[in-house]
Amino acid sequence: MKADPQQRLDELSAGYQNAVILLTANHLGVFPALAAGPRVAADLASELGLDARALETTLLALAAEGILSQARGTFCLAPDFAPLLLPGGSQSRASIMEHNYHLLRRWVGLDEVLRTGRPAADTQRPRDGTQLRAFICGMADISRQSSEEVARKLDLSPFNRLLDVGGGPGTAAITFALRYPQLRCVVYDLPEVVPIAREEIARAKLEERVATVAGDFLEDPLGSGFDILYVSNIIHSQSVGQTAALFGRCREALVAGGTVVVKDFFLDDSRVEPASAARFSVNMLVGTAEGKSYTLDETRELLADAGFGDFRVVTVARASALLVGRRGPSA
């Protein structure tokens, strides 16, 4: 049944309220503080340095949404949500929620972005260490399951050397290496990101099979001799020109006949479906100079211009796809 227009507008216009409550509680450490069991709001407020009345009001709102459970004046994590709310676990979403907390301030400035055509002011400054870790570890939060799905749906057994371009915390490379023992992987990312990837690789005990290289894929060579490149959730933050140049560098890094896999939140030709990708374009609008959600067709065309062909599409996750291509003998 089609949603009532007024109800739909009400949901959309008030959607920020639950987001702000959830993300602020995560930012202030409320959920880890509840990990040991039920707590009284006043005791929790004293531990976290918060106002007791304000915290209790917020905890009640979280309980109303089922995130917390309330009983006899105490609050605890709802069992279904606890693995998602607590940091460090395989299901954790704590880092990506912290990243979204920092994004809130950019989104609030959308009116200024629309007036000027430029991204939010804070994008002109480098992320501090806390924000960078939230972003990179947030990428791990959202890529664990999708990387497993990619590893199942793509047969990587014919490949020996994989380059994960802009691989962040190395989640995909680690997942692929665990599933395919013949595979040797390299995670390529900025110098400030590589130490986080090394932490994750060491945690997985894969130092002998997953290496790191520091560099800027917009300016530096990617290396050579790889038979497969994985470019996941990268192009949406780049302009068309930057994406074209990146695909050119990808071609140079591959052996003849090598494979490129581009994963992203692709739009269809209408550019309004899926809605999540259309909305993500706004995230790129406020956060980057020229980033956007690409359509499959325009991505395929950019790859073809860079010398790739033999394309196929594989659907993964809830709103992503893989565009797989092969390097031709000449550009």
- Tell me: the pLDDT tens digits for 105-117? 899 999 999 999 9
Residues 180 and 68 in one domain: no
Is pLDDT at 330 greater than 70 in this prediction? no
Residue 69 lies in a domain: yes
Task: Give the closest residue to 280 by CA, choosing from 266, 296, 269.
Answer: 266
Is pLDDT at 331 greater than 50 in this prediction? no
Residues 17 and 157 in one domain: no
Residues 214 and 82 in one domain: no
Residue 229 lies in a domain: yes
| Each residue's pLDDT tens digit, 149-171 | 999 999 999 999 999 999 999 99
Residues 6+ apart with CB under 8 A from 60: 70
Task: Give the closest residue to 262 by CA, choosing from 310, 286, 291, 229.
Answer: 229
CATH number at residue 13: 1.10.10.10
Q: What mean pLDDT do residues 42-66 have? A: 97
Strand ranges, E, within the chain = 39-40, 68-71, 74-77, 161-165, 184-189, 210-214, 226-232, 254-264, 308-316, 320-327
Q: What mean pLDDT do residues 231-235 have? A: 96
> Of 47, 70, 86, at which residue does a domain stop?
86
Residues 191 and 214: their CA atoms lie apart, in Å, by: 5
Name the β-bridge partners of 315.
321
pLDDT at 120: 86
> In terms of residue numbers, what domain contains 179?
143-327
Q: What mean pLDDT do residues 167-192 have? A: 96
Is pLDDT at 141 greater than 90 in this prediction? no
Total of domains in the chain:
2
Residues 79 and 225 in one domain: no
| Each residue's pLDDT tens digit, 283-301 | 999 999 999 999 999 999 9
Residues 311 and 304: their CA atoms lie apart, in Å, by: 9
In which band, very low, low, confident or very high, does the pLDDT at 325 lie, cut at 50, 70 and 90?
A: very high
CATH number at residue 267: 3.40.50.150
In which band, very low, low, confident or very high, does the pLDDT at 240 lie, cut at 50, 70 and 90?
A: very high
Residues 234 and 242: their CA atoms lie apart, in Å, by: 11
Residues 299 and 324: their CA atoms lie apart, in Å, by: 11
Residue 49 lies in a domain: yes
Name the β-bridge partners of 68.
77
* CB-based contact 190:237 (threshold 8 Å): no
Tokens describing residue 34: 């509840």
3-state DSSP call for residue 104? helix
Residues 40 and 148 in one domain: no
Residues 159 and 233 in one domain: yes
pLDDT at 134: 86
Residue 56 lies in a domain: yes
Tokens describing residue 321: 């796809």
